[in-house]
Structure 1
Amino acid sequence: MNHNTPLSPASPRPLRHLAAGRRRVLTVAQLRTYGVTTAELTEQCRPGGAWQQLLPGVVLLHPGPPTGEERLHAVLMYASRESGPSTPAGVPAQPGSDDPHGTPPAYREAMITGRAALTLHGFTSTPSLLALETIDVLVPRLRRLRSTGCARVIRTPALPVPQQVTGVPVAPVPRALADAVADLSDAAVVRRLLTEAVRGGHCEPASVVRELTQAKLLGRPHVVDAVDSLLAEGRAIAEDRLYRMVREYGLPDPVWNVDLRLPGGPHLGGLDAYWPEQAVAVELDTRAPRQDEDAMWSEYARKRETLERLGITVVHITPKKLRDAMEQQATVVRTALMAAGDRDPAAYVVVLPR
């Protein structure tokens, strides 16, 4: 007998062989490639039997409750177009291979999302995998699939690029947050999730608001309130990073959080940091992608153009750049400060606390 020869249905060895593997969740199609007949499957999955059908077409190869990892893989096996562990589409795993003994499956067109995904990303404000009654799984909109058992199917016109977490495809945090929030009515819970996303460094507020907007969730008052708290939290974190950048990279101390005015003239705008001697300003770009984004950007652009006409250099920094490339942003600011001596003197402006 070689690896391409089906195992004898009369022999109990393949069943023991499969159940002894580390990966004890397989699809019915995979079991058939290992020589398990329909009769054997029915016998093993009878009440009180050694196996159990966890989801349609997905079998748990032991009688006890599934672990959190087994639930995840069962949901993905049910929802994906997966044709066999680590095999190309349409090519079944060969009987006798080691695939059920720990090789991660290759899932297609399915990923974990919602609160289960947030738990996998390391959130502490979401329940454990075992405590979740259902596990959300994201699939393309045209997939003919229904929610059942512990699998809650969520459809989307375009799947995001999944992140691999413990060998499982997981939706990025902003998308997982939007799917989780869509199913929550408790304002405190929503606020905790959004706050942890920002405080924990999982993502920036703008990316969260963008997903919530696309999901049409900003019409819900408790979500809007949570988003307002999120944006305030995000700005505070960005300001702390800006202070740290100036301190850690040896930049001269600016004046912080000021308004500029022309003497006896109009208000020019607020700035997060300003170096009067060099006429260099830093502004944190903490705009959120809401419906009025174009109007907000026009206001940003008008202020910048007005200040630069007066000879003031404006450096825009996003919270994401401060988080991911602080040294690079410090270099940009330092370069602007050093170039001040080569420019014509800036117009005199009045600096007031904001």
Structure 2
Amino acid sequence: MRRGRWAELGDLAAVVGTGGVIRVAELEGLGVARSTISARCQPGGPWRRVLPGVISLFTGYLTARQRSIAAVVYAGPGAMLSGRAALAEYGVGRHSGDVQVLVSAGRRVQSAGFVVIERTTRMPDAVDRAGIPCAPITRSVLDAARRCTTVDSARALIADIVQRGAASPRDLSTELEQGSGRGSALPRTVLREVLANVHSAPEAAARTLWMRSGLPAMVFNVDVVDADSRFIARPDGWIDAVALAWEIDSFEWHLSPASYQETVQRRNAMQSLGIVVLSSIPRTLKDEPDRVIADLRAHFALASSRPRPSVRIHPVRSR
């Protein structure tokens, strides 16, 4: 294509089909002179450089998806998204931070701008998400969790994935064991909680306090049924030895009148059958742990002092 003929293509962004993001080399392959590219990327021009060797065919800010496209375009053939950027392509959360990209160990491409390059000897098969190659969701969530700086952020991330049914704890554990040990401490801690059926940060805090209490075994998020196998409730924590239920009451949950009514009905159903119920709020788990442990022990003593009601739990299903 002779110099200048690229203009006959009309909407160049539509022609290249990459969200308006393209490598300089591809533009040159379309017949765009390097001097033209430089001129159009000058201040006030219609294009701009977003990464080394990568141009956006517009001047506005990149959307999160355009950033992801630009990252993969920059990293070159065989690269794929991972971490939170990939999770966003799976419909899990939003992402506006650095874009994590996997490349094979032999590649020399470097991190640049908002792109974090991670070389790996375990390149997975890419999953196409509307035209963007992404690592499988188990790899993506663990790559994201390895970059978390607190256990709470790792816990929220992994618990969200598990609760959505997007990945099972077993699959995540397998992926973690097969992958790099670098940065694996936090996801390993969280997966131990999730495998114990702990679903949220307050429940994880509750589990920690129960472990300090010296009380008998507690299970989490199991169905409690009556003598006729009719469902009663699914308390956050349950000590089956004495039929003691532990409920972690979230203020946000109670902002909904319907949810508050459901909480009251569930608690009434348990208490009407003789189940002892302890209610705690997330703030006290963090701010007054000794008081919570004392409450837990006191309610255990109360539950131990009366005949155990005829209720039972369904076995915890392995996932």
State the TM-score, normalizing by the size of structure 1: 0.53
Change beyond 3 A, Cα 1:56–1:62: same
Quote the residue 1:171 is aligned against. 135
Q: In the alignment, residue 170 of structure 2 is paired with which amino acid? A: A
2:66 maps to which of 61, 70, 80: 70
Structure 2 CA distance, aligned partners of 1:12 and 1:219? Answer: 49
Quote the residue 1:296 is aligned against. none
Change beyond 3 A, Cα 1:14–1:42: farther
Quote the residue 1:120 is aligned against. 89
Q: Secondary structure at the match of 2:45?
A: coil
Q: Bigger radius of gyration, 1 or 2?
A: 1
Quote the residue 1:211 is aligned against. 175
The 8 Å contact of residues 195 and 233 in structure 1, kept in 2 or not, is answered as no
Give runs of aligned pairs for residues 221-232 of structure 1, distance below 5 A.
Answer: 222-232=186-196
Matched, 1:110 2:106: no
Structure 2 CA distance, aligned partners of 1:40 and 1:136? Answer: 31
**Gaps spanning 5+ residues in structure 2: where?**
200-218, 224-228, 231-239, 241-316
Change beyond 3 A, Cα 1:158–1:14: farther
What is the deviation of 1:319?
4.8
1:258-302, Cα deviation, whole Å (9 max, x unpaired): xxxxxxxxxxxxxxxxxxxxxxxxxxxxxxxxxxxxxxxxxxxxx
The 8 Å contact of residues 115 and 177 in structure 1, kept in 2 or not, is answered as yes
What is the deviation of 1:15?
7.5
CA RMSD of aligned residues (A): 3.0
Quote the residue 1:30 is aligned against. 26
The 8 Å contact of residues 13 and 21 in structure 2, kept in 1 or not, is answered as no
Change beyond 3 A, Cα 1:159–1:16: same
The 8 Å contact of residues 68 and 99 in structure 2, kept in 1 or not, is answered as yes
Q: In the alignment, residue 138 of structure 2 is paired with which amino acid? A: P
Quote the residue 1:192 is aligned against. 156
The 8 Å contact of residues 15 and 36 in structure 1, kept in 2 or not, is answered as no
1:214-248, Cα deviation, whole Å (9 max, x unpaired): 2215863x4443122111128989977xxxxx99x
Change beyond 3 A, Cα 1:234–1:175: farther
Q: In the alignment, residue 113 of structure 1 is paired with which amino acid? A: S
What is the deviation of 1:60?
0.2
What is the deviation of 1:27?
1.1
Q: Secondary structure at the match of 1:154?
A: strand
**Gaps spanning 5+ residues in structure 1: where?**
1-5, 82-108, 241-245, 248-256, 258-317, 321-354
Quote the residue 1:42 is aligned against. 38
What is the deviation of 1:193?
1.1
1:93-129, Cα deviation, whole Å (9 max, x unpaired): xxxxxxxxxxxxxxxx1110011111222223xxx23
Structure 1 CA distance, aligned partners of 2:184 and 2:24? Answer: 43
Identity %: 30
Give runs of aligned pairs for residues 117-156 of structure 1, distance below 5 A.
Answer: 117-124=86-93, 128-129=94-95, 131-132=96-97, 134-156=98-120
> Across the two proteins, how many residue pairs are aligned to each other?
209
Q: In the alignment, residue 151 of structure 1 is paired with which amino acid? A: V
Q: In the alignment, residue 111 of structure 1 is paired with which amino acid? A: M
Quote the residue 2:11 is aligned against. 17
Change beyond 3 A, Cα 1:138–1:12: closer
Structure 2 CA distance, aligned partners of 1:218 and 1:20? Answer: 41
1:123-177, Cα deviation, whole Å (9 max, x unpaired): 23xxx23x22x10011101110110011110111021112122221111121112
What is the deviation of 1:16?
5.0
Q: Secondary structure at the match of 2:11?
A: helix
Structure 1 CA distance, aligned partners of 2:66 and 2:183? Answer: 35
Q: In the alignment, residue 45 of structure 1 is paired with which amino acid? A: C
Structure 2 CA distance, aligned partners of 1:147 and 1:113? Answer: 14
Quote the residue 2:3 is aligned against. 8
Structure 2 CA distance, aligned partners of 1:177 and 1:34? Answer: 38
